[in-house]
Amino acid sequence: MKKFSFSVNNKDYNVSVISIEGTNATVLVNGISYEVTINKEVKTSKTPTIVRSRVEPSTESDRSIAKTSSPVGTKGAGFIKAPLPGTIVSVQAEAGDTIRIGEQLLILEAMKMENNIKADKEGVITSIRVAPGDSVLEGDILLEIKALGEIGLRDDEA
């Protein structure tokens, strides 16, 4: 609702525009409601709506897999993917290593900054698909992790 103050012949008027539909408007003048016709149609501007695409974590191996695992399902399987384009500086892990969440796996240089890529799942590294000096794009698979249960180990044995 827009509010205006007018002065006509030294008399003050407080006007509130209640609604506008085409050339018809409902206004409130000093507390009294009036239906008025506007000689020129008022173009109402609409606030644009920002529509964003759905964002999903880049570490899932298959988008059809639920983002949470069932209590009896194996945990930790999947891929670690590049979060942004860059160059691999160093790899701190080796195939066969058992890793825990938060453990540093490699360093990725992007935009003149070094980014520590850490494990977001537990398991055993089955393959490392990059080497120092390799250029990667966002979403490229850096390494593959198998869940502890998938390779015959229990969580307490690792």
Write down the pLDDT at residue 158.
46
The residue assigned the tokens 């055993």 is 124
Domain-located, residue 56: no
137: domain CATH number is: 2.40.50.100
The letter for the amino acid at 89 is V
Q: Is 78 exposed, middle or buried (0-12, 13-18, 19+ CB in 10 A)?
A: buried
Confirm whether 50 is domain-assigned.
no
Instruction: State which residues form the domain around 124.
Output: 78-151
**Euclidean distance between CA atoms 119 and 82, whole angstroms:** 12
- The half-sphere exposure of 80 on its side-chain side, counting CA atoms within 13 A, is 32
pTM over 0.95: no
Q: Is residue 156 part of a domain?
A: no
Mean pLDDT by 10 residues, the chain (158 residues): 82 86 85 85 68 64 50 63 93 91 92 91 91 92 83 50
- In this prediction, residue 41 carries a pLDDT of 59
Structural domain count, the chain: 2
